[in-house]
Amino acid sequence: MAAEDSAAAVHGGRVYEYALASGREWQDVLDFSANINPLGPPESVLQAIVEALPQIRHYPDAHHTQVRAVLAKRYQVPPDSLVCGNGASEVLELAVRQLQPCRVWVCEPAFAEYALAAQRLRVPVARVAIHWTERGTELPWDELDRVVRPGDAVILNNPHNPTGGCWPLMSWWPVLERWLATGVGVVVDESFADFLPDEYEFSLLASPVLHPRLWVVRSATKMYALPGLRFGFAVTHPQTAAAVAAVRDPWSVNQLAQVAAAAAYQDHAFVTQTRIWLQAEHAWAAQTWGNWKKVQWYPPSVNFFLIRLRDASDAERLQAGLASHGVFVRSCHNFHGLDSSYLRIALKAHADNERLWQLAHSLLTNGSPLSNASL
């Protein structure tokens, strides 16, 4: 465990940078570095955006009325328990600002924005490493329980990015309940939970607990492929939500994002279609990447997986070879607890997944890529 110095975040999904660096148009970049649903955005969302275009002549709805009503119905929570934001990143920062913790605890490796949100608010960050076991990864509950104090906040991530770990709610809710009772703030990022077929075995939204120090964060970015519009939300206690609304930027969520999210969260058929696609790709990945002796493969729970190569030079050679073909994966060198021998790979349309597999297999087996014509 260690206090953290300020650091700049390096995210995946930098498609315009990838295009510039590789001398391509952004449309010609094949991006496996961002975990975005390749089936989206849903047609219902695109249609809703087109119909809402005349609304951009007005300021956005500062109360997020329509989308909060949709979310309240979808997740069976009171509308006044919902806090909407310009992506999950803004919601995370609103949570930390409202909790005003003495310290923020982050289980590493983790999404960089957890620590950065605290650092922007001048809150000290402390890190504790997740546990790697033969069965996968586990959150360090015992260790956290020894060091977390009243007035602290803990940011958790389930399903976990970047390892793909996923932990049933009943295995860790008693710890959270005890923390909340002693004055600890808890923020649980469930941005990937929509992909889980048995989502409510893992989600705090299964039986929502509305506590002033508990925030459950979700994102439209991953499931509904809306990173360019920016929409995320949290469920918290209505009094907490009201306190946040009183001091925040009222127009941070643009009107098209609100309309798109409202349409997305009503499109249940799209979620079903996505889960069917993902089940097939999980099976394919297990047969290919999961049986390849040149990499250590961490089985996915959602729409990405983690691999580890023998050493950093292999991973760097693989990344460079892929980039020469306009294909980009996520190096994990800037995740605390990982290094550049780890790569995170999103699952995309099957033809794209096959292309990446063939190219990576050729690069690491033969030492040179296949020709573009053969791909």
User: Residue 80 domain-assigned?
Assistant: yes
Is residue 34 domain-shared with residue 67, that is, in the same domain? no
Question: Under 8 Å CB-to-CB from 110, ≥6 apart: which residues?
Answer: 155, 157, 161, 335, 336
User: Residue 275 domain-assigned?
Assistant: no
- Sequential pLDDT tens for the chain (375 residues): 444 443 445 666 677 787 777 778 877 788 999 999 999 999 999 999 999 999 999 999 999 999 999 999 999 999 999 999 999 999 999 999 999 999 999 999 999 999 999 999 999 999 999 998 877 788 899 999 999 999 999 999 999 999 999 999 999 999 999 999 999 999 999 999 999 999 999 999 988 889 999 999 999 999 999 999 999 999 999 999 999 999 999 999 999 999 999 999 999 999 999 999 999 999 999 999 999 999 999 999 999 999 999 999 999 999 999 999 999 999 999 899 999 999 999 999 999 999 999 999 999 987 655 444 333
Query: Reduced to 3 DSSP states, what percent helix, strand and coil does the chain have, rounded to the nearest 5?
Result: 45, 15, 40
CA dihedral 100, 103, 105, 111 (to 10 degrees): 60
Where a domain ends, among 214, 247, 268? 268
Strand order in the sheet with 153-157: 2-3, 125-129, 104-108, 153-157, 185-189, 214-219, 232-235, 82-85
Where a domain ends, among 226, 253, 268? 268
User: Residue 49 domain-assigned?
Assistant: yes
Is residue 263 domain-shared with residue 326, that is, in the same domain? no
User: Residue 295 domain-assigned?
Assistant: no
| C-alpha span between 155 and 269 (Å, rounded) | 32
Residue environment code for 328-361, b if the CB has 16+ CB neighbours within 10 A, otherwise e: bbbbbebbbbbebbbbbbbbbeeebbebbbebbe
Is residue 15 domain-shared with residue 47, that is, in the same domain? no
Is residue 243 domain-shared with residue 368, that is, in the same domain? no
State residue 367's pLDDT score.
64
Is residue 74 domain-shared with residue 188, that is, in the same domain? yes
Is residue 49 domain-shared with residue 22, that is, in the same domain? no
User: Residue 184 domain-assigned?
Assistant: yes
| C-alpha span between 43 and 100 (Å, rounded) | 41
Instruction: Report the CATH number at residue 366.
Output: 3.90.1150.10
Taking the chain, what is the end-to-end CA distance rounded to the nearest angstrom?
45
Residues written for the chain: 375
Is residue 150 domain-shared with residue 186, that is, in the same domain? yes
User: Residue 293 domain-assigned?
Assistant: no
State residue 371's pLDDT score.
42
| C-alpha span between 215 and 305 (Å, rounded) | 26
Instruction: Report the CATH number at residue 48.
Output: 3.40.640.10
Is residue 252 domain-shared with residue 219, that is, in the same domain? yes
State residue 26's pLDDT score.
73
- Please give the DSSP secondary-structure letter assigned to residue 312: H
CA–CA distance from 20 to each of 26, 318, 323, 346 (Å)?
A: 8, 20, 12, 21
| C-alpha span between 244 and 212 (Å, rounded) | 11
State residue 69's pLDDT score.
98
Is residue 208 domain-shared with residue 85, that is, in the same domain? yes
Report CA torsion sign: 186, 187, 192, 196: positive
Is residue 172 domain-shared with residue 48, that is, in the same domain? yes
Residue 71 and residue 264 in contact, taking contact as beta carbons nearer than 8 Å: no
For the chain, what is the domain count? Answer: 2
Single pTM value for the model: 0.93
The amino acid sitting at 56 is I
* Residue numbers of the domain that contains 147: 43-268
Where a domain ends, among 268, 291, 319? 268
User: Residue 174 domain-assigned?
Assistant: yes
Is residue 326 domain-shared with residue 238, that is, in the same domain? no
Is residue 16 domain-shared with residue 159, that is, in the same domain? no
User: Residue 30 domain-assigned?
Assistant: yes
| C-alpha span between 183 and 213 (Å, rounded) | 8
